[in-house]
Structure formats: C-alpha cells, structure tokens
Structure 1
C-alpha cells in the first residue's frame, strides 16, 4: 500500500458519515473503488460488500479489524487513484478471508511473539502472502505494496513461512509505517471499535462470507490466482492424510465378518474330535482380494492418473505383492478386461472417452475369485450402480471443484452412493 505522509494528530475512529470535501472521507470515491474491485474480482464480491467502512485519521492508509470493519484515512482516500484504492480494498479483505488474525494469534501463542516488532513482522509476512499474486488482470498494485521480491524472498509461500524467513532490518525499514489493523495480525488497536462496537460481523456471519467466497472461487477456478485457489480448497476442507485414510478404509472394508475368510483342510477344525471318522475343515483367514477400478476417462488428468497408480502400488504392497490378490480394471465409458498385477508398473491404463463406472464395477465383480473389496479411483463425474455391489466398496475421489457458482448455476458431480466409503484424494 502507499506509504502515508506525516501522521496527523490521532482522533477517535468514527462511523462513516463523511461527505466529499476537505478533511472528510470521500465515500463516493471509496465505494467507486470497491465497485471496481468487484468488477475485476467478482468472486470476492460477497466479502467486499460485507465490510463496513469507518472513517479514521489514526490509520496510515486503510485497515481492517477482526470484526470486518474497514477503517479508511480521509487523506489517503483523497490522494489515491480509484484504481489503486480498488487494490487496497482487495488487499484488506484478503487479510480477513485468509484468517490472518486467527493465524497471528496462534503464532503469538506458540512462538511467544507479543511485542510491536513481532506484530509488524506478522503484518509484513501476511502482506507478502497476499500481494504475491493478487494483483494484475485489471487490479492495480498500490504504490509501496510489500511483496516477497522486496525482501528477497521466494514467491508462493504462506504467512507462517515468510515469518521464519526474515527479520526487521534494512530491507523492511521502508515498511515501518505499515498497519493493516487487527485483521492482519490479531492484535487489537486503540482506534478500533472492538467486539462491542457497531456494525461488526458475528462469527457465524464471517463463516458464511468465507463459505460463499470459497464456493465462488471453486466454481470458476480459472479466474482466480493460485493463492486464492489454494485458500478455497482448504477453507472448509483442511488437509487430510489421505493415503492413511484410504488404507484404513480398505482395511475396514475387508475386516468384516466373512470377508477374506475361507475353509481349508490344512488344519482340521477342533470340532472334528466330536465326530470320529470325519475330518472337518477349519475357517482360515486369508489376505483380502482387492478389485481396483481406475477412471481413465477424458476428464481425469495425468496427475490424477499418477495418484491412482500410487494407490494401486500401495494396495499391492499391502497384500504382499501377490499377483492373485489384486485385479485392476481401467474404465472410461467401457471397461477393459480385469488384469492381475503385483506392481503398479504392470497396469495398462486405457481410455480417454466418456465415463460410466458401472461398467467398471461389473468387470471387477466378474473376476474370479471374486474380490472382497472394490476400490474405485475416480473424479466422480460418472453414474453409479443403482444396487449395492455384493462386496464392500471404497471410493477414492480426486479432490477438485464441483463447478458450483455463487448464483447456483454450474455443474455438480453426482454424489457417491451411501453404501460406499468415500475418501478425498490429494488433500494433505
């Protein structure tokens, strides 16, 4: 953001009632800048319009508190072009959407960062996370905005990572004036209205705003920078150890009564003693047989196919690499023949057309011996079997957008059936 001039004498923050003119907040200009920000970043519209403006001469430029109030300096608004003000709007609301105040509080507790210098470092680190890729494509970077390049830091990192990479010194001296408010680092300011002040959002309202913005970004992923796409992906789906979850789901599916069990005469049953002259078989636990259906339709990316191969390799290792225990079916609109494999390198992935995994289920269940569990690795854009298969089913869904848009339009992939255990792949 633009560095401020010599600070004016502090005055208490007051609600936005100013009109254009000398010494008062030009709300017409400020709201025109917000409208410009909405036009170039429509997925942030809900958040931008949720901010309530408060005039304040104690802030150097613009700032936000953790209750979603935006404090604006009249002098700063007067001298800053509308296009740059739009960038400041997006910058400030980004602090709130990315929960920099909550993350700052957690860092302060864990690392003992409580002094003003520590909070300034948090603010700078948070700005680096935002300013890395938020500008461009119609949004002007405000003069004096701090970026990772300014501090000789790599791009694409998070606030927590940047905080470990630099200390206050010659490279940061030009940003000593920086103050984006408690919304950037969690530390309340004297000029903020606080939790009991007017026009703050409740915790439920803040969550609702974040949810709508995350869904808007997910609905049009090509329109948002990488930083926003990462935020939307993790906003309400925290990273999970998905390989462990998938392994646990498979183990759970084959541990039920009757699964992976068969009669064998290698060791007679103990009840044979009650029947002289008769030898009864005993029930023996055997390694589970796993049928894997891999979605190879045109909607599945090469990276997702790579993920599928990794999972098949893990399944092969789990059953000891035995060729008779794992079969793999590649399927798009039609299923290929089931192939017995003992390593991922042996899998022939054929496809590239439409998707109908009902054919894949049918092919996997036709294999003999029949599988104890079917594992389906897919993007979910497929019709599902109408009836529950005769064995347990685990669905590994590649993590991706469902195409939801804020106006309710867009593609929604079919939900996996209730009888399948579903694990999201690629998160964490």
Structure 2
C-alpha cells in the first residue's frame, strides 16, 4: 500500500471529525499520526502520538474512521492516563471504563463506531457517568464472578475471564496490583512536523501487537487511556527529538478545547454533549483566589489611589469644566480618577513545579488579568530569569512558562527594582521550595501564592496564600 492512501483517508477523517464536533477542530490538528502496521485499529499515546494501522483505516469508511478518531482524542483530553494513576487502577479495567465514558456520547451523536464499542449498558450502568464510576461497577461485577479454574496437569486450561473489550492484563487483579504495561495502539519513529501532519519515520514493517490471545481494540487504546501498547513509541525520533506533545502543550490544548466547547454551547446547547460541557466547566473553573479583592487590599497599603477607589486629579478635567469654560484665567477643576495597579506576576518554572502546578500559574494569572482589566507583566523564573514580558491573555502566560532547572526566587526581584515604572504589586506563584530575598522590595507589596507545596512560605515577609485542590487558605 502506498503511504499516501492511508494519509489521504486520515486527512478526510480528520476533516469530517472536525465538522461533526467543531470544538475538537484545533485539537485534532495537534495529534501526530504515525503508521503502525499490524495494529488492527487506532491508538493514542499520552504524548498525543496517534498510532494508525494503514490497512485498517483504509478498510473503514470515512465516517467510521472519523468516529474512531473522535474516540481516541477523547482519551488524552480527558486525562484518562492521569486518572488511572490517581486511582492506582487496573489498566485493562480502567481502559474499559474510559471507553464507556467516551462512547455513550458518540453513540448519542449517531456516529458510526466500527465493531462492537464498549457501552455503559453492557454492565447495567446508565449513560453520562464518569470512568471512575464505570470502573467500580465493572470491578464489582467481576468480584461476583467465580474465579477461573487453576491450571493443573490436565489438558483443560480453563476459559479466560469474560470481559467487555480486548486488552492485556488480568481484570480480576485488584486495583494497584498490576503493572500498567498493558497494550497500546501504535508504534512509529516519525518525526514531528507541522501540526496534524503524519510523522516522517513511518515503517512498513508489521509488528505483533497482541498479548497472547488478546489484541488491541475496544478496551485497549494506548497509554493515553491508561493502558500502554506493546510496541508503543517512547515519544522521540531517531535523532532524539520529541515527536509528541509536552505536558504543558497538552494543558493548553485542553483549555483551548474547553473554551471552544463553552462558545459552541452558548450558540446552541443541543450541539454539545452534556459530558463535554461538564468537562469544560471543570477545566475552566475560576481561580481559587478572588484577585480583584486581593489586589485592592494590597494596594491600599502601597498607593494613595487604587483600582476601585477614586480620588481627584488635574490629569483628567472634571465633567463640569465646560460650565466654567476653558482658557486663560479659568480655573481647572480636578476630575475623578481610578488608577489601575501595575502588577508583576512571577511564575516559578523550576523542575519541582509539575504540570498541575504550572496549570495553576496559568489559571491564577488569568484571574489577575481579569481583575486588573488590562495587561500585566509576567516573569518566568527557575534558578534564573528566563522571560519578562507584558501579557494580555492566559495564552501568552502559557507560552512564557520556560524553565525546568533549579530554584532561586531572588533574580526576578532584582529585575523588578530595575523596572520603570516599578510594579505596585508582585504576585509570586510557586511551590515555596527555594531561597528568597532576606528583605522585601521597597515600595512593592508582595503576595506569595504557594501551590501544592508543603504549606511553608519561602520567607517571613509579604502576604502568603496557600492554595491546592482544597479551598484557599490565607495567612
């Protein structure tokens, strides 16, 4: 088969999938398709490498290929791999559950999934539940079944445990007892080119993706679903370059999709499945800190006029000036002003800040931008200052998160004192693990936002706010 055949089918399927669910259009271009001969289906890795069996995809109709594509992209968007790890779940069983969480929406949208897709009704569960709920339901059903016969010296080896879907591993194993090696959907060494373009290292060599009598398919979708495939690539090309998406890129993709879902739902609620609307609400949930109030309180101690408070200034003439007139001999009546604070946001981008912590930087920074009502300066710092720029949106903040080295909180404060005009407020978002200046910057109010750290501030000066998955605490 000529490589162009499956790539043409892939392009057609992606275009159709984007028309079926418009809010996925951008995310679909972020997948990196790589040929995986012998896979027998599609699969997706945690770093967004889409593994495609050329023979299988060309054998499907475009409608079927589009439906499978929408199924696969839902796994990394919903972070099924991370949720599987959080539960210490059996990889095979959780992949079953995550498939059910996805497929009920696809079937409701009348999409043509090939074969026999896993659905909630097959385990007596209602639609619209989470993968975690389906996991517990199926686990209870398996516990009620008699154990399989033990292997002996006789000829009979016993029958395998029944299950919905095909995958590696033993679903009768208790959660957390099985190594999540599982199966996946793809192999390839393709180099990452432009968004949505197939990798250039596709191979025609067929591999055996099966694990005994089990083959990739329903319930075995790759590491993005929590169940890694047998020959799943490591995410790097032959020259060592990454071909997939980084965790930070994935977080940004999720947020962009969530915004597209909210926009689509505002136009026509009937076009967006309820499960995806709830997911978007969770991704776009507001910051834990009410920054408008927090910034106003901080400014009251550092400025004579703050956002939300008014004062008189001759820099803005009064509306009543016209009654008196303009020109020589006419007094100037002061007008009411409400200056906006100059805020510097500093994001800790050291190696100790994981994906969740970096996401909190984006979320809280977005709240600050909304509270300020305009732009704010943003600095990214690990052991040294990497970025200092003016940002107007969370997307610019996300693009500025550069670092990954050691930790030193002092360099951005040195730079802040050189800025003209100096910031009125510094908001430092960090896990708190690093050295800070011994004294506060003169004339600048500092707020330390400690995210998912040990609850210990790096210094005694400044205001300290601790946030995590729990409600914010202030000190």
TM range (shorter): 0.3 to 0.5
Structure number, greater radius of gyration: 1
TM-score (norm 2): 0.43
